[in-house]
Amino acid sequence: MKAIVAALAACTSLLAISIALGQSGNPGKSPAVAAPQYNPAIYAELQKAPEKARKRTNPLQNDPDAVAAGAILFEQHCAECHGEAGQGGKKGPSLRVAEVQIATPGAIFWVLTNGVVRKGMPVWSKLPEPQRWQLVRYIQSLGEPGPAAESPAPKP
């Protein structure tokens, strides 16, 4: 009888643990942080870039390696605030929104270089200029559509 009670207690404990882990979503990982609510005023800094800065073009625009290099830099310097895929995070807004995606490369470069210190965005002027352009290229790639999924052939 004692063995049955002990087995029943063990099963009940395992069931309770399983339910708790199932409700937590990602066992062993911290819960995902919701992106901040959309506020267009957050993106006003892009419009504050001087005209000369906005007109700058990205010298790495056609470099096939710039997006991949920018992704690495983004993970190292930006993902903590803007989220792993630029979707926004605890501190930084989404970089996938239209305001960022339609901004000129020069405006994005200007914001990266000068930061938005009063809102928590650090100044990245000490990051070498080619790396800042790689980040610009990566950020702009976040709004590009991925390769079109091939649709399966219709079945007769």
The residue behind tokens 């990566």 is 138
DSSP state of 84: T
Pick from 69, 50, 87, 88: which is nearest to 134 by CA? 69
User: 125 pLDDT band (50/70/90 cuts)?
Assistant: very high
Taking the model in full, what pTM does it have?
Answer: 0.69
Q: Is pLDDT of 93 > 80?
A: yes
Q: How far is residue 49's CA from residue 44's CA, in Å, rounded to a whole number? A: 9
What rounded mean pLDDT belongs to the chain? Answer: 79
At 97-119, the pLDDT tens digits run 999 999 999 999 999 999 999 88
CA of 83: how far to CAs of 45, 75, 78, 88, 93, in Å?
Answer: 19, 9, 8, 5, 9
40-141 has which CATH code?
1.10.760.10
What is the average pLDDT across 55-75? 97
Domain spans of the chain, in order of start? 40-141
* Residues linked to residue 121 through DSSP beta bridges, in sequence order: 116
Q: Which pLDDT does position 90 carry in this prediction?
A: 84
At 1-17, the pLDDT tens digits run 665 544 444 444 434 44
Q: Which pLDDT does position 1 carry in this prediction?
A: 64
